[in-house]
Amino acid sequence: MRVLSGVQSSGRLHLGNYLGAMKQHIEAQEAHECFYFIANYHSLTTVTEPDRLRAYTRDVALDYLALGLDPETACLFRQTDVPEVTELTWILSTVTGKGLLERATSYKDKIAKGLQASMGLFSYPILMAADILIYRSDVVPVGKDQVQHIEMAQDMAASFNHMFECEVLKRPEAKLNEAMIVPGVDGQKMSKSYGNTVELFDSSKATRKRIMSIKTDSTPLEAAKDPETCNVFAIYRLLAAPAEVRGLEAQYRAGGMGYGEAKKQLAEVVERVLGPARERRRRLEADPDYVEDVLRAAGEKARGVAQGVMEDVRSACGLITAKDTHR
| Known catalytic membership, residue 98 | no
**22 shares its domain with 51:** yes
pLDDT tens string 122-178: 899 999 999 999 999 999 988 777 889 999 999 999 999 999 999 999 999 998 866
**107 shares its domain with 253:** no
What's the rounded Cα separation, in Å, for the pair 65 and 38?
13
37 in a structural domain:
yes
Q: Is the pLDDT of residue 179 over 60?
A: no
**209 shares its domain with 173:** no
Q: Identify the pLDDT of residue 191.
A: 87
pLDDT (average), residues 184-193: 89
pLDDT (average), residues 46-66: 96
Residues near 23 by beta carbon (within 8 Å), at least 6 away in sequence: 67, 179
| Known catalytic membership, residue 110 | yes
193 in a structural domain:
no
Give which of 107, 102, 88 is closest to 156, Cα–Cα: 88
Q: Identify the pLDDT of residue 180.
A: 63
| Angle, helix 259-285 to helix 242-254, in steps of 10 degrees | 150
Q: How many residues does the chain have?
A: 327
Q: Identify the pLDDT of residue 290.
A: 97
**83 shares its domain with 37:** yes
**37 shares its domain with 161:** yes
194 in a structural domain:
no
pLDDT (average), residues 193-201: 91
Give which of 208, 196, 183, 185 is closest to 272, Cα–Cα: 208
**111 shares its domain with 141:** yes
Q: Identify the pLDDT of residue 326.
A: 61
Q: Is the pLDDT of residue 327 over 80?
A: no
Q: Identify the pLDDT of residue 316.
A: 97
**18 shares its domain with 107:** yes
187 in a structural domain:
no
Q: Identify the pLDDT of residue 158.
A: 97
Report the share of the chain in percent with pLDDT over 70: 98
pLDDT (average), residues 207-229: 95
Domains held by the chain: number: 2
164 in a structural domain:
yes
**316 shares its domain with 168:** yes
CATH number, domain at 148?
3.40.50.620
Domain, as residue range, for 133: 2-181+288-325
CATH number, domain at 220?
1.10.240.10
Q: How many CA atoms lie within 13 A of 184 on its CB side?
A: 15
pLDDT (average), residues 47-61: 96
What's the rounded Cα separation, in Å, for the pair 327 and 323?
7
Q: Is the pLDDT of residue 120 over 90?
A: no
190 in a structural domain:
no
Which among 23, 110, 225, 263 is annotated as catalytic? 110
**50 shares its domain with 137:** yes
| Known catalytic membership, residue 301 | no
Which among 23, 175, 192, 225 is annotated as catalytic? 192
What DSSP assignment string belongs to 24-36?
A: HHHHHTTTSEEEE
- 77 pLDDT band (50/70/90 cuts)? very high
Which among 189, 215, 264, 301 is annotated as catalytic? 189
192 in a structural domain:
no
